[in-house]
Amino acid sequence: MTGTAAGTAQRWQGRHRRLLDGLSASGALTPDWRPSFEAVPRHRFLPERIWRYGAGGYVPVHRAGEPGTWWELAYADEPVVTQLDDGAAGGPGEATSSSSMPSLVARMLAELEVGCGGERVLEIGTGTGWNAALLVHRLGDARVVTVEVDPSLAERARQALASAGRAPRVVWGDGAAGWARGAPYDRVLATCSVLRVPGAWVAQTVPGGRIVVPLHRDVWSGGLVSLTVQDGGLARGRFSGRAWFMPLRADRLPSLPVDSATGRRSATGPDPARITEPGFCAWAFARLPDVTMTYADEDGGARRVWLTGRDGSAATAVGDGGGPFEVWQYGPASLWDRVEAAWRAYEAEGRPHQGEFGLTVTRDGRQEIWLRDPGRVIG
C-alpha cells in the first residue's frame, strides 16, 4: 500500500470509527447492529459523484476533485444525495435518490427487531445498496431480497454489493408490489416513504412479522410506523418517531402553483414553531391530508412555516416563542385558519404525543389512523 493510499485508509477508518461511536453514544446504534456497521463501511456504496446542498441548489462533489469534502460527507450523520432528476440530464435539479442518514438507518434496523432466528427480510428501495449490505451481514445473502424501481440504481447497487462480497437478491421492479416470488417474509423494511402502506406488503408478511415504513402525506413527510402483522391479513402498530425519506415514485406529490396575487395579513393564535411538533404533525397527518407544510429555522431561533393547498392557496408565518405572531394568507382558502382549528382540537385532546397515534392496514390496502386505541379512528 502506498503512503497516499495508507493515509486515505487511515482517514476514513478514523471517520468511520468516530461516526459509529457517536451513533452508539446517542443510542441510535444498538450493540447487536454495531458489528454490521463496522464491517460494512458506508463509503464503499457511494458513487464517485455525490451532491451537497448549496446556494442555488445541489452542487456536485467529486471524490477525485474534492476528496476532503467527499470523505466528510461520506461519514457525516446526514443523508448524501446520490442522484438528481432520476438520472436524466438537464432536469430541475431535484434529489431523487440518496444514502440515508446513518443514525436513521441504525434506528430503523433496530425497529425491525431482528433476532437470531434467521428472519427473511424484504427491503423496498435498494438505493446505493448500503442498507441491504448491513442486513446481509447480519442475516446472510439468502435471507435478503431488495427491490429497486430504477434499473440503473439497481445495477449499480448490485455491483457495489458484489464488490463488498455481498450477494442478496436484487430485484428491478416496483416496490409497491413487493416481490411475491420470494414471499413470505418475516420483515419488510421500506427506505422510501409512502402515502399508504401497500396491501401487498401485508399479504407477503407472515403473522407475527414486522413492517417498518416511513409515511408521508401533503402535510407531513416524516412519520415512521412499525406494524405487526396479525392473523387474518391485518397489520397494526404505532408511530415510532420521525423519518424523512424520498417518496416511492408512484407516491410523489406534484408541485402546485400558488396564487400570490392577493395577500391577507392577520394574527395567529398558536406559535408557528409549535405546530411543527411531532404530536401535532401526526394529528394533522390525519386531519389535514390536502395541506402541505414545510418549515425552516432562521437566525435568532425563529422558525418559519409555509403552508400550501391543492387549490393554490398558501400561508406563511414565523414563530419565535414570543407573540403575537403575524401570518400572511394567499389564494382562495384561508389555510392558516384551518390549521388553527386543527390545533384547537389537538389541544382539546390534551396534545397527545406522536406515540399515541397508530395505524391499521389490511392486505387489500385499507388504511386507518387512530388515536390511543385502534377503535378510535381519526383519519
Of the candidates 280, 188, 178, 175, the one whose C-alpha atom is nearest the C-alpha of residue 227 is 188
Residue pair 341/335 in contact (Cβ under 8 Å)? The answer is no
Judge whether 313 counts as a catalytic residue: no
β pairing state of 95-99 and 303-309: unpaired
Task: Go through 58-94 and write b for each residue having 16 or more CB atoms within 10 A of its CB, e for each that does not.
Answer: beebebeebeeebbebbbeeebbbbbbeeeeeeeeee
Residue 55, φ and ψ in degrees, nearest 5: -60, 120
Between the two ends of the chain, the Cα-to-Cα distance in Å is: 60
Residue with cell 502506498: 2
CB atoms within 10 A of CB 219: 22
Q: Which of 98, 99, 100, 240 is catalytic?
A: 100
Nine-digit cell at 241?
418517531
Residue 358 CA to residue 226 CA, distance in Å, equals 9
Residue 315, phi then psi, degrees to nearest 5: -155, 150
* Cα separation, 124 vs 251, whole angstroms: 14
Burial 19-28 (b: 16+ CB within 10 A, else e): bbeebbeeeb
Element containing residue 340 per DSSP (H, E): helix 335-348
Say if CB 216 and CB 186 are below 8 A apart. no
Radius of gyration over every alpha carbon of the chain, rounded to an integer in angstroms:
22
Long-range contacts, 365-368 (Cβ 8 Å, 24+): 365/196, 365/197, 365/198, 365/199, 366/199, 367/196, 367/197
Grid look-up 402525506 returns 217
Cell of 34: 454495531
For residue 173, how many other CB atoms are within 10 A of its CB? 13
Please list the active-site residues: 100
